[in-house]
Amino acid sequence: MKVAIIGTGYVGLTTAVVLAYLNHDVAAVDKDESKLNLLQEGKSPIHEPGIQSLLEEVQHTIRFTPSVAEVVPEAELILIAVGTPPKKNGEADTRHVEQAAREVAEVCLPDRHYTLVVKSTVPIGTNRRVVEVVEDVFSARGVRGNISVASNPEFLQEGLALQGAFYPDRIVVGANSDEAIDTLRHLYQPILEQTFDPPSEFPRPAAYHLPPMMTTDPSSAEMIKYAANTFLALKISFINEIAGLCEEVDADVTEVARGIGLDARIGSQFLRAGLGWGGSCYPKDTAALLRVAAQSGYEMPITEAARTVNFRQRERIVEKLHGTLGTLKGKTIGVLGLAFKPNTDDVREAPALDIIRELIATGATVRAHDPIAIPNAQAALHRENTTTPELQFTEDVYELSYDADALVLVTEWDFYHKLELRKLAKQMKTPILIDGRNVYSPEEARVAGFHYIGIGRV
């Protein structure tokens, strides 16, 4: 099938590469010149496990262009995967989605049928708005075009994006037109029936079951995306709230999570207590959902609380440092991990950045490390002028710990699991380890010489 994808961010690029791998004829459009140059040279602009090699493998069925007009007329299906950045009030800005729809309607051929699919995460009602935009363009052009609009939310997790795209739990389609549903079913057939040969880096999981394609109305599809993200976000916040109480009563939250997770109604996933969620989705989507609610005069105290608990986790880390070191002025704190989660270089809404800002504000010196996210963290902090001599970045964890007063583990990279704790502890001024992701066994860390402080455990 001839597919045009507008936007080559995490969602657009992952989708483009996977559809090309499934032998669809894919053209991806992006206006960002530097991104486009990289893609045209066959290089991925994002760090995502497996994407570079897959991009090389699908060179013959994928192309990248800045021009909607060049690819849309001949496409059968067009996916909009542009960003919906937050406005100041938290509302998701759908300007780029509407603009993409407008451009599509301007260049499509009046005598052909197209399916236009919104994949970006958008406020409920955007699908209806896209239909209006398309109709306005058709009436301005004086043509009776034939575009069916559908919503197909994306549930990819950074760091696991390709795994999730090849082996999703479900595919959700919101559409009022049978033609659009049929086209999407055809597009995803190799995934729905698992008829493709798995890429060597992404073997089919042994226990994987064929995923259902759920069809519903567009507004419900849009709501499913927000509700799913908010539910996952509050599941994490819930365990973090329990973790705080565990600290008060000498219980161990990792044991509590194990115990409640064994209840099939609760499930064991997303119960890892720690520094909470960051990234491009949960913070933005929970805020956008609250805006949608506020516009209807509806209160969502559970969603509000999930956010409060989440951002409090970052403050609690600094409080833990105060609790052990007293004043932080003049103290040297090593921060391990800058990305919002492992296996990505994404630092959007990363807990590490808030913690660094707070530590610098209290007069501490910060040495920060990350296996790959240092350039992005530097750029983000530079943009807001948080660059001072008191903030240093290093690629050597052992150098970072030398003479330091405390270490804070923020991102649970595999790399940190393998550190020589004894060597680290030995060269620190005071061997304090705040394990913000409960990566280490408290006993092991203590035997290595650390004063160990985890989240919600003694």
Instruction: Give the three-class secondary structure for 438.
Output: coil
C-beta closer to ligand UDX: residue 100 or 271: 271
Query: Measured from the CB of residue 382, what is the shortest distance to ligand UDX in angstroms?
Result: 22
Q: Hey, what are 335's tokens?
A: 């921060």
CA distance 338 to 446: 25
C-beta closer to ligand UDX: residue 331 or 341: 341
The residue type found at 403 is D
Instruction: Give the three-class secondary structure for 394.
Output: coil
Instruction: Give the three-class secondary structure for 26.
Output: strand
CA distance 432 to 300: 39
C-beta closer to ligand UDX: residue 246 or 428: 246
Length of the chain: 458
CA distance 389 to 387: 7
Residue 442 touches ligand UDX, criterion: CB under 6 A: no
C-beta closer to ligand UDX: residue 431 or 456: 456
Contacting ligand UDX within 341-360 (CB under 6 A): 341
C-beta closer to ligand UDX: residue 208 or 231: 231
C-beta closer to ligand UDX: residue 231 or 398: 231
Q: Identify which range of 181-189, 271-279, 323-331, 368-376 contacts ligand UDX by CB under 6 A.
A: 271-279
The residue type found at 445 is A
CA distance 303 to 296: 15
Q: According to CB under 6 A, which one of 35, 119, 272, 284 is a site residue for ligand UDX?
A: 272
> Is 108 designated active site?
no
What does the per-residue mask of binding to ligand UDX show for 122-161, with x meaning CB under 6 A?
Answer: --------------------------------xxxxx---
DSSP 101-151: HHHHHHHS-TTSEEEEEE-S---TTHHHHHHHHHHHHHHHHT---EEEEEE
Give 155's Cβ-side CA count (13 Å radius). Answer: 22
Q: Give the number of residues in contact with ligand UDX, rule: CB under 6 A.
A: 20
Query: Measured from the CB of residue 158, what is the shortest distance to ligand UDX in angstroms?
Result: 4
Query: Measured from the CB of residue 106, what is the shortest distance to ligand UDX in angstroms?
Result: 30
Contacting ligand UDX within 80-119 (CB under 6 A): none
Which of 281, 306, 287 is CA-nearest to residue 90? 287
Which of 275, 310, 306 is CA-nearest to residue 290? 306
CA distance 9 to 79: 13
Q: Which residues contact 308 (CB under 8 A, 6 or more apart)?
A: none
Query: Measured from the CB of residue 440, what is the shortest distance to ligand UDX in angstroms?
Result: 16
Contacting ligand UDX within 222-251 (CB under 6 A): 229, 232, 236
Q: Exposed, middle or buried, 179 (CB in 10 Å: 0-12/13-18/19+)?
A: middle
**H or E stretch including 172?**
strand 171-175
Q: Exposed, middle or buried, 211 (CB in 10 Å: 0-12/13-18/19+)?
A: middle
Query: Measured from the CB of residue 377, what is the shortest distance to ligand UDX in angstroms?
Result: 15
What does the per-residue mask of binding to ligand UDX show for 312-341, with x meaning CB under 6 A?
Answer: ----------------------------xx
- Residue with token string 């509000």: 304
Residue 370 touches ligand UDX, criterion: CB under 6 A: no
Q: Identify which range of 138-146, 199-207, 274-282, 445-453 contacts ligand UDX by CB under 6 A.
A: 274-282
Query: Measured from the CB of residue 226, what is the shortest distance to ligand UDX in angstroms?
Result: 10
Intra-chain end-to-end CA distance of the chain, in Å: 57
Q: How many CB atoms lie within 10 A of CB 351?
A: 28
Query: Measured from the CB of residue 350, what is the shortest distance to ligand UDX in angstroms?
Result: 8
Catalytic residue among 133, 256, 281, 317: 281
Query: Measured from the CB of residue 154, what is the shortest distance to ligand UDX in angstroms?
Result: 6
Give 102's Cβ-side CA count (13 Å radius). Answer: 9
Q: According to CB under 6 A, which one of 12, 123, 145, 274 is a site residue for ligand UDX?
A: 274
C-beta closer to ligand UDX: residue 62 or 156: 156
Residue 12 touches ligand UDX, criterion: CB under 6 A: no
Query: Measured from the CB of residue 152, what is the shortest distance to ligand UDX in angstroms?
Result: 12
Q: State how far the alpha carbon of 77 is from the alpha carbons of 111, 185, 240, 305, in Å.
A: 15, 12, 43, 40
DSSP E strand stretches across 380-429: 391-393, 406-409
Q: According to CB under 6 A, which one of 5, 130, 221, 271 is a site residue for ligand UDX?
A: 271
Residue 279 touches ligand UDX, criterion: CB under 6 A: yes
Q: How many CB atoms lie within 10 A of CB 393?
A: 18
Residue 278 touches ligand UDX, criterion: CB under 6 A: yes
- Which residue, judged by CB position, is nearest to ligand UDX in the bound state? 281
Catalytic positions, please? Answer: 281
Residues that bind ligand UDX (CB under 6 A): 154-158, 229, 232, 236, 270-272, 274, 276-279, 281-282, 340-341
